[in-house]
Amino acid sequence: MYKTIGIVTGGGDAPGLNAVIRAVVKTAAGEYGMRVIGIEDSFEGLLGETRTRDLRPEHVRGLLPRGGTILGTRNRGQFVVRTNEGQLVKPEDVYREAITNLEKLGIEGLVVLGGEGTLAIAAEFDRLGFPVIGVPKTIDNDLACTELTFGFVTALDIATEALDRLHTTAESHDRVMILEVMGRHTGWIALHSGIAGGADVILMPEIPFTMQAVAEKIRERDRCGSEFTIIVAAEGASEAGGELIYQDKGDPAHAPRLGGVGNYCRAELEQLTGKETRCVVLGHLQRGGRPNAFDRMLATNFGACAVRAFAKGERSVMVALQAADIVTVPISEAIANIKTVPPDGQLVGTARATGISFGSPDEASYHTSKGTEPCV
Ligand code: F6P
């Protein structure tokens, strides 16, 4: 059994990171007598003059409800270099330096809290001989092999509250209100919050939309006496045959950043329908602040199970939620492909059945073929 393990947080922050850190420290110390060393500023803290801190149970008091990560998360693009041609390269000398430093620190295994990008870095450490266990973190919920990632449900709460608040102002002014939410190339946040927040239209990457179909939904609502419309748009949504919209194209250290589809739709829909239309970009409010009760519980369970996995001799796995239990799955499987929303899945069907439009061109025929009354 390892005497000392490290813990590192990578990628964008998500509510529940500190709750995982707390659970890892408490389980490692309390159940196995292991020492835990926190790596600061993500994997960057393992290069040059290392930046680490001892984490004992007294250091993690009060961490459960705290947002962000006490260890920091930074990406200077040293572990994954983006070439001018857009290729991603993992320079072995950088990993070797980090592994040498881990060994100098007496760290025998690393718990890595991250999404797909961070876990791909973790997998490279493992390939080069250093044991890792992954913990699935992202508000986007786009990691494969786990039903949920921690942070997602808190983000949903925030998006749902935003939709509730937009309802009352939209209704008062007879306006169209668009809420742009995060999610990268998946529509999990948009779909779940759209259903929970009673949106009229959900735009998401998995179902390309047409502006005409969305405009028709707005007109249909007007005809039925609801002169306002609430639209939730995932940042990765795009028009059928159209392109993704980016707020910036990225640089060698950073991936391109999605954003802008909400404002694009705002201008187009205002022109098509003649109705006053406003857009709110929810942005990092979805990531900041306290995790909700569910994410505190999930993060704690993930953290404890990650330490137990190391204690059982597992490596190169990610803890995952499957059928209400925490299991372990090979990291390689978790990072092979992102988990997208099944466009013909049950939840999309439920959304449609309750009158939500996805702005897809075939939608009118969907309603007629199902015999749905227009004013639902
Ligand atoms: O992956 C989490 C996420 O919040 C995405 O939803 C979003 O596209 C991205 O990170 C934003 O990244 P940044 O914080 O670098 O702007």
Domain identity same for 144 and 247:
no
* Residues 161 and 228 reside in one and the same domain: yes
Residue 174 annotated among the catalytic residues of the structure: no
Domain CATH for 143 = 3.40.50.450
pLDDT computed for residue 369 by the predictor: 47
Q: Are residues 139 and 231 in the same domain?
A: no
Place of tokens 């430093």: 101
Is 328 inside a domain boundary? Answer: yes
Question: For residue 368, what pLDDT band results from cuts at 50, 70 and 90?
Answer: very low
CA distances in angstroms from 51 to 28, 94, 107, 119, listed in the order given: 21, 16, 13, 20
Say if residue 185 is in the same domain as residue 297: no
CB 349 within 8 A of CB 195: no
Look at the chain and count its residues. 376
Helices (H), the chain: 17-32, 92-104, 116-127, 152-173, 188-196, 211-223, 261-273, 293-311, 331-336, 346-353, 363-370
On whether residue 375 sits in a domain, the answer given is: no
Report the domain count for the chain: 2
Q: What is the pLDDT of residues 24-61, one digit of tens each?
A: 999 999 999 999 999 999 999 999 999 999 999 999 99
Q: In terms of domains, do 103 and 29 share one?
A: yes
Q: Which two tokens stand for residue 252?
A: 């060698």
> Are 178 and 146 contained in the same domain?
no
Please indicate, yes or no, if residue 376 is contained in any of the structural domains.
no
- Residue tagged active-site, from 13, 41, 140, 295: 140
Task: Tell me the best of 13, 287, 335 to mutate to test the pocket of ligand 1, counting ligand atoms within 8 Å of each CB and taking the most.
Answer: 287
State the average pLDDT over residues 157-181: 98
pLDDT at 84: 78
Same domain, 176 and 252: yes
| 198 is a domain residue | yes
Structural domain contains residue 139: yes
Distance from Cα 78 to the centre of ligand 1, integer Å: 19
Residue to mutate, 13, 113, 139, 158, ligand 1, most ligand atoms under 8 Å from C-beta: 139
> DSSP letter at 46?
G
Average pLDDT value over all residues in the chain: 95
Condensed to tens digits (0 to 9), the pLDDT of residues 114-146 reads: 999 999 999 999 999 999 999 999 999 999 999
Q: For residue 290, with 0-12 CB atoms within 10 Å meaning exposed, 13-18 middle and 19 or more buried, which class applies?
A: middle
Residue 163 shares a structural domain with residue 278: yes
- The answer to whether residue 240 is domain-embedded is yes
Specify the pTM. Answer: 0.95
- Tell whether 86 and 234 lie within a shared domain: no
What CATH number does residue 164 fall under? Answer: 3.40.50.460
Whether residue 186 lies inside any domain: the answer is yes
Task: Tell me how far CA of residue 367 lies from CA of 136, 195, 217, 341, 357, in angstroms.
Answer: 38, 18, 12, 21, 10
Of the candidates 220, 216, 214, the residue with the CA atom closest to the CA atom of residue 202: 214
Beta-carbon-side half-sphere exposure of residue 169 (alpha carbons within 13 Å): 14
Helix or strand (DSSP H, E) at 234: strand 229-234
Domain that holds residue 9: 4-150+291-334
Q: Are 250 and 362 in the same domain?
A: yes
Same structural domain for residues 20 and 159? no
Question: Would you say 214 and 357 are in contact if contact means Cβ atoms under 8 Å apart?
Answer: yes
Kindly state whether residues 125 and 56 are assigned to the same domain.
yes
